[in-house]
Amino acid sequence: MTTLTVWKFNTPDGASNALAKLAELQKQHLIEIQDAAIVSWPEDRKKPQTTQAFDLVGAGIVSGAFWGMLFGFLFFMPFIGAAVGTLAGALSAHFNDYGINDDFIKDIRDKISQGTSALFLMTGQVTLDKVEEAFSPDERGELIQSNLTTEQEAKLRADFGEE
């Protein structure tokens, strides 16, 4: 089963630092990172910066189109406003098909803001206690997670998987 986790950090570079450490843990087979992306929101920016982690996972289980659509919905749609309410409702229902429900989306929107960063991970097997031990309390982010069912994972791969 694939798990979509979002780790929120209180600094703009916290997510990239965590991903570097997770890359080392993946080499030790303590975590299976299937896909990853970073959102960094420096204090002096009105919008966050997003990066897909190609160097760590290769093509990943989903394409950049998935991350782009998700990040657009999470961070840029709220700025557009009510003019696209119908579109927002349709996208919300669409993401729900992939195990990303309204509560998950609201939680992310509420927690990721200027001066923070977030690491979006799709993971398979994880030796959680060993991964947690690798991070000091100051390095640990706040966890937001959504477990994907086998059907949701298959739909995600079919609709957004790399060819």
Degrees, nearest 5: CA angle 14-15-17: 65
Domain ranges of the chain: 3-160
Q: What is the rounded average pLDDT of the residues 4-16?
A: 93
CB of 26 closer than 8 Å to CB of 123: no
Which amino acid, residue 93?
Answer: A
> Where does the pLDDT of residue 118 fall: very low under 50, low under 70, confident under 90, or very high at 90 and above?
very high
Q: What is the rounded average pLDDT of the residues 66-82?
A: 70
What backbone phi and psi angles, to 5 degrees, belong to 88? -60, -40
- Taking only the tens place, the pLDDT of each residue in 119-157 is 999 888 888 889 888 888 888 888 887 778 888 888 888
The answer, yes or no, to whether residue 86 has pLDDT greater than 80, is: no
The answer, yes or no, to whether residue 68 has pLDDT greater than 70, is: yes
> Where does the pLDDT of residue 116 fall: very low under 50, low under 70, confident under 90, or very high at 90 and above?
very high
The single residue listed with the structure tokens 């659509």 is 69
- The predicted structure's pLDDT at residue 56: 62
Is this structure's pTM higher than 0.85? Answer: no
The answer, yes or no, to whether residue 89 has pLDDT greater than 70, is: no
Give me the percent of the chain exceeding a pLDDT of 70.
80
Q: What is the mean pLDDT of the chain?
A: 82
- The predicted structure's pLDDT at residue 66: 80
Long-range contact pairs involving 61-68 (C-beta distance under 8 Å, separation at least 24): 61/2, 61/34, 61/35, 61/122, 61/156, 61/157, 61/161, 61/162, 62/35, 62/122, 62/156, 62/157, 62/160, 62/161, 62/162, 63/160, 63/161, 63/162, 65/160, 66/156, 66/159, 66/160, 67/37, 67/120
